[in-house]
Chain A
Amino acid sequence: MERTAPSRLDLFLGFAKIGLLGFGGVAPWARHIIVEERRWLDEREYASILGIGQVLPGPNTVNSAIIIGDRFHGTMGSTAAFLGIFCMPLLVLIGIALVYDRIADLPAVGVAIGAGAAAAAGLVIGTALKMARRLKFDVAAIAVGLAAFVSVGLLHVPMVWAIAVLGPISIAAV
């Protein structure tokens, strides 16, 4: 697939869309918009930036936004991506905070939030599965991915320990 390099405005608008639509978390939207919709990066390039973003402290999507912005437009690109990913959600959040006390008790609101949260979890799970499928993981990569999933998802090991132990293993094995 043909890739298209974004302008600074494209970076800002693209990440603003990611932030605005990132209900329940921005990871699925970031991949969808960067890889599929706007085609700034291919699956492999995006995954490798996300890998770096994951082991640094901070939200992996925000770290990735900084790196992607820098890659295309240096400091200004990083700034545009950073402002983009936060500006719309902050406005929405202020709006929600202002009306929350009035609408929080409506039953339909609770039902809609519950259903949306369940689907949002599915979007995150599906995104991970899709990336694993597209990147054609070999046995070692699948084993590392599963070990990360089991330790953090099922055994609730703090992520910093999982990263410290599995990071070197992953680099050595894959």
Chain B
Amino acid sequence: MEETMSGLLEEIGATFGWLSLLQFGGTNAVVPEMHRQAVEVLHWMDGQTFANLFALAQLAPGPNVMIVSLIGWRVAGLAGLLVATFAMTVPPSLLAFAMSRLMKRAGTSKWLGIVKDGLVPLAIGMILASGWIMAASSNQGPLSIALTVAAAAFVAFTDYNLLWALGAAIALGLTVHRLVM
């Protein structure tokens, strides 16, 4: 049975709309459930296509949440891309906005300061963990490890533009590849 376009868009909006509020710690937290919905439940695509779209979203610039933009694009073209992106980003953003207003109202209250200061080490530990997971999944041998360590040291100990680290890593990767091949 052929699904209608508006039916598909509704399906995309509903699926990502509720997933959007489960993104604790970032989009990657809901990727397994996203995979289950897209591949097994709704049969939008096969597992290999999902994996390719995930890799593409990781390498493209922008927040990792844009995996859903690619899924929407794949399933229903430009309209699908827009519906998926909005469904996944607008609900949490409204929640963040409500939180922002609550914090403004609380002003410089003491408890708010304690909560905010208390969450900082947690957030930084989580960022470190996500970097570690990215490093593990991009690890293709000694050169990958060296590039990761060098880029980490570059950020941690200098204030130069991060593009230098990315550009140098890509140039080095290509040079080594050419010499070895």
Contact = CB atoms under 8 A, between A and B. Distances in A.
Contacts of B41: none
Contacts of A133: 156
Nearest to A25: B64
Interface string A114-131: 111111111111111111
A76 B64 CA distance: 24
A23 B166 CA distance: 9
Interface string B57-68: 111111111100
Contact of A89 (B60, B123, B169): B60
Interface in B125-164: 125-135, 137-140, 143-145, 147-157, 159, 161-163
Interface residues of A, number: 101
B23 A174 contact: no
B92 to A, nearest CB: 3
Q: State the majority secondary structure of interface residues on B.
A: helix
Nearest to B32: A158
Nearest to B149: A122
A113 interface: yes
Contacts of B126: 54, 60, 148-149, 152, 159, 162
A72 B81 CA distance: 30
Contacts of B131: 121-128
Nearest to B55: A113
B64 A59 contact: yes
A119, A126, A174 pick with most chain B CB within 10 angstroms: A119
A23 B150 CA distance: 17
B82 to A, nearest CB: 9
Given A21-B163, A57-B92, A127 B155 contact: yes
Interface in A95-138: 96-97, 100, 107-108, 111-133, 135, 137
A9 interface: no
A47 B23 CA distance: 20
A13 interface: no
A54 B155 contact: no
B117 A48 contact: yes
B75 interface: no
Given A47-B120, A70-B104, A120 B85 contact: no
Interface in B13-63: 20-27, 29, 56-63
Contacts of A28: 155, 162
A97 B166 CA distance: 22
Contacts of A144: 121-122, 125
Interface in B63-119: 63-66, 69-70, 73, 78, 81, 85, 89, 91-93, 95-97, 99-101, 103-104, 114-119
6 contacts: A51-B116, A51-B120, A122-B150, A126-B151, A145-B128, A174-B118
